[in-house]
Structure 1
Amino acid sequence: MGRANTLTNVVSTFMVLWCPVWVTMNWMSLEYFDGSLPALIKAFWTTDDALSMIWRYLPQASWTASLAYASWLAFQALLYYALPGKTSFGQRTPGGCRHRYEINGAMAWAITHLLFAVAVVQEWLDPAWIAKNWAGLFVAANVYGYLLAVFVFVKGRYAPTNVEDRKFSGSWAYDFWMGLELNPRIGSHFDVKLFHNGRPGIVAWTLIDLSFAAWQYEKFGSVSNSMLIVIVLHTVYTLDFFFNEDWYLKTMDITHDHMGMMLAWGDAVFLPSFYTIQAQYLAYHPVQLSTPAFIALMALGMGAYAAFRASNSEKLHVREADGDTMVWGRPATALRCNYWTADGKEHQSLLLTCDWWSIARHTNYTADLVLAWAMCAPCSGDGLVLPPWTYFIFQFVLLNHRIIRGEESCRNKYGEKWEEYCEIVPWRLIPGIY
């Protein structure tokens, strides 16, 4: 309570208003300005009637797309609730809770894509339908994202799942943006955060890519090898998420970030519209890479993914073994830290100091950034002015923001032990530099 200030209010209000503008600008630039953000900005800057121009270029709602989007949400919710899955438990919350989850995301992804494939093969569905109805789906997702943000805000104030894991800042704007509840639930089973973090957007990610690839084929007669790189790397990334969904329960998204507009609107709109930006761009502007460039970028992306997965798996493995295990042929090393939850109970955690985690404190983020670069590079073009490259810029800012917030949380949680850990592993992201 009471930790918000004027700057917090201003920044939170700005984010609530600006984020939809940002993704809409990306859509406009692709639809009307040949994928050039500078051209879009110049057009708005020089026009005599900006309001009319905005209205003319805004994506339009569609009843067909809105119904399809509502059906999509209902179908994914049904799969989330009804499919069997492995029982897993999240990390202990500050309030002392360990929530139970049924992990079935991989099965939901497989069923969804199988049904999509059958519908396309049987000619019940145009494979490019998503791409052709993208504007209407984009509007429907925005409406839902804001409604969800309002819902979790009201629920957090008046009907929290666990009072001990709810926090107020003293700022309505900040609380709306960052969230009140850590793990809001409807009933005992339906976890609002995990569902929205993992289902409507991430399951759709590869479907959206495939639809824009089909649209590229329909317009140009072939699918570019740059599109293939994007689809392969995105598919690997999404499958990694679902095959390691129990690991995701231990990440910052679940253990630290409260459910506000940042996650609610972000999961509904930002993830499916922004994380697929490369496929959207290539559907308009196919890039055919040379064979050496194709091989190099694919290898770089897969290598970065391998490092990302290996580092995360190592952390999970060592913690599950309570440090009593081998990694890279040597005994694992870690710093043991005690901490206390809000219920007054003492617990212990491990901060790894071996192998991947001896290189930097966030080696997984380093690999994630290299992978993000490999996803954007196939789009080629004029560099950072293109919408696809805004994904890499966003990832760089996001991951550094997470580093700062995460390390502040660890400093408060572990005290002197955290300072000792930073002396053992001095680099955050890039050894010798940062």
Structure 2
Amino acid sequence: MEEIISSAPPCHSDQKGYNLQRISKDVIPPWGRRSDVPPLRSVLSLAIMLACPAAIVFWYVTLQHFDGSLLLAIVALRNEGFVSFFREYCPVPTLQTALVYGAWVLFQALLYSFLPGSTHKGQPTPAGNVLKYKTNGLLASVVTVLLFSAIILWGGNFASSFVAANWGEFLAVFNIYGFFLTLAFYLKAHISPSHLEDRKFSGSPLYDIYMGIELNPRLGQSWDIKLFHNGRPGIIGWILIDISFTALQFCRHGYITNSILIADVFHLTYIVDFFFNEDWYLKTMDMAHDHVGFYLAWGSAAWLPTIYTLQPQFLAVHPVSLSPITAATILTAGFGGYILFRSANHQKYLVRDTQGKCLVWGKAPEYIHGEYKTTDGSTHKSIILCSGWWGVVRHANYLGDLILSYAMCATCGFTHLLPWTYAIFMTTILVHRCYRDEQRCAKKYGKTWEEYCAKVRWRIIPGIF
């Protein structure tokens, strides 16, 4: 769940676009990213592109061969050496899993192309383009689940647990496909870009590969590759992966625990929320700011389906039966976090949509009028909400997201660190995003942002951070 960026007045593709040379002079441009990348950042980009694929393989190996113990896996890695360790344990793709995954991506592409859906406009791009998107993810999810249910009825336990039973091979396919996408996006940006002035070059090929060059790569005028890959194969696949590992738990142990069902329900809530509010996703940092490179391409293809499903992966092997009180506590915390996330965003959108002519927590909202200039010299106005959840902390939606993330991990108990790495990852990325957002807001709003920070002291956790 992402932070939405403030909306600007509508603009059109025939308006004056952003000048690339002017953008390159910005220290922190309001769109895109830094254009003066230091050498160290290029090295870090390469390190991340090598470390992340190794990390998801290491987590798989830890679960599969070391009983979920990170300590035992680390000791083995140290004793055997990196090359020997991964040569012995690293899964390899099979033709069967490659064909199944290829058919999966093609099937989702067909649903994205031909199912009916609503048309929505995205945020204005740096070049002044306001792109249209077809959103039909919720319908695609329903069709997919119904078809998968029919396959399970026909194929029984074999079909229901097929993904989980071949998880290592699928993980290898995810990795390969993620790198293929990364390279394809990089080459497309140079050879056949969709929107020339929306590209962002850093001067470092490594950093460009990692963060991406094109903002909205498309096939033709309307088939948005970014929206498709950010949402469809990975997030809809998330549902089937959860079902498969739940079925694997039943096949191995003869029962299904309440813990894995709670984890599945939390995940399903997250997924349904994403697709129900797919038009909202068009205004998030992912869609409106981040260019398409390894970060998004490999992340959506490999990181999302492996790390976001860690709890069912773990619970399929290590069943945890929660007491009624513990289960109720986890459910309350998780849904409380979700309600906080959703209500915080609703408050902000409502105030901006009504220009403050509404009620927040039963009274008129407090807000600050902010102005900012974009690189083309245009002045835009926005509202910074200072009451409701946004009067408690400056990133209330992040707090809700974190509470839900920790509730997901709590379903696995406290015997192993491995399933908690998801919460650690979410904490890291949201804290980093918090600082990045505030740096951008400080540059964007100037003294107005300082005034807001003086009113609302805490970033995410009241009294702590």
Q: Which amino acid aligns with 1:334?
A: Y
Q: Which amino acid aligns with 2:150?
A: V
Stretch deviating more after TM superposition (283-292 or 330-339): 330-339
Rounded to whole Å, the distance in 2 between the matches of 1:426 and 1:161 is 42
Cα pair distance change 1:185/1:340, threshold 3 Å: farther
Structure 2 residue 362 is the aligned partner of structure 1 residue 329: yes
Structure 2 residue 172 is the aligned partner of structure 1 residue 139: yes
Counting only pairs closer than 5 Å after superposition, residues 29-428 of structure 1 correspond to structure 2 as: 29-47=62-80, 50-123=82-155, 126-383=159-416, 386-428=417-459
Tell me how far 1:153 sits from its aligned partner. 1.4
Q: Which amino acid aligns with 2:399?
A: T
Rounded to whole Å, the distance in 1 between the matches of 2:110 and 2:92 is 29
Give CA deviations for 1:65-116 in whole Å, capped at 9, x if unaligned: 1001001101111111111111211122333222211111110111100111
Residue ranges of structure 2 left out of the alignment (5+ in a row): 1-23, 25-34
Rounded to whole Å, the distance in 2 between the matches of 1:187 and 1:320 is 32
Percent same amino acid among aligned pairs? 45
Q: Which TM-score applies when normalising by structure 2? A: 0.89
Structure 2 residue 50 is the aligned partner of structure 1 residue 17: yes
Q: Which amino acid aligns with 1:359?
A: V
Cα pair distance change 1:52/1:353, threshold 3 Å: same
Tell me how far 1:344 sits from its aligned partner. 3.6
Cα pair distance change 1:298/1:271, threshold 3 Å: same
Rounded to whole Å, the distance in 1 between the matches of 2:343 and 2:278 is 15
Q: Which amino acid aligns with 1:93?
A: T
Tell me how far 1:50 sits from its aligned partner. 4.9
Give CA deviations for 1:167-192 in whole Å, capped at 9, x if unaligned: 22221111111111222222121112
Instruction: Tell me, yes or no, if the aligned pair for 1:59 and 1:136 is still in contact at 8 Å.
Output: yes
Secondary structure, in 3 states, of the residue corresponding to 2:227? helix
Stretch deviating more after TM superposition (129-138 or 61-70): 129-138
Rounded to whole Å, the distance in 1 between the matches of 2:294 and 2:127 is 22
Q: Which TM-score applies when normalising by structure 1? A: 0.96
Rounded to whole Å, the distance in 2 between the matches of 1:352 and 1:105 is 30
Rounded to whole Å, the distance in 1 between the matches of 2:444 and 2:82 is 50
Secondary structure, in 3 states, of the residue corresponding to 1:101? strand
Q: Report the counterpart of residue 6 of structure 2 in structure 1.
A: none
Q: Which amino acid aligns with 1:399?
A: L
Instruction: Tell me, yes or no, if the aligned pair for 1:153 and 1:179 is still in contact at 8 Å.
Output: yes
Secondary structure, in 3 states, of the residue corresponding to 2:214? coil
Rounded to whole Å, the distance in 2 between the matches of 1:189 and 1:85 is 13
Q: Which amino acid aligns with 2:131?
A: H
Q: Which amino acid aligns with 1:232?
A: V
Rounded to whole Å, the distance in 2 between the matches of 1:94 and 1:426 is 32
Q: Which amino acid aligns with 1:402?
A: R
Rounded to whole Å, the distance in 2 between the matches of 1:193 and 1:335 is 34
Cα pair distance change 1:322/1:152, threshold 3 Å: farther
Rounded to whole Å, the distance in 2 between the matches of 1:19 and 1:50 is 15
What is the count of residue pairs matched by the alignment?
Answer: 431
Cα pair distance change 1:339/1:50, threshold 3 Å: closer
Cα pair distance change 1:322/1:83, threshold 3 Å: farther
Q: Which amino acid aligns with 2:88?
A: R
Secondary structure, in 3 states, of the residue corresponding to 1:331? coil
Rounded to whole Å, the distance in 2 between the matches of 1:240 and 1:426 is 30
Q: Which amino acid aligns with 1:424?
A: K
Instruction: Tell me, yes or no, if the aligned pair for 1:95 and 1:341 is still in contact at 8 Å.
Output: no
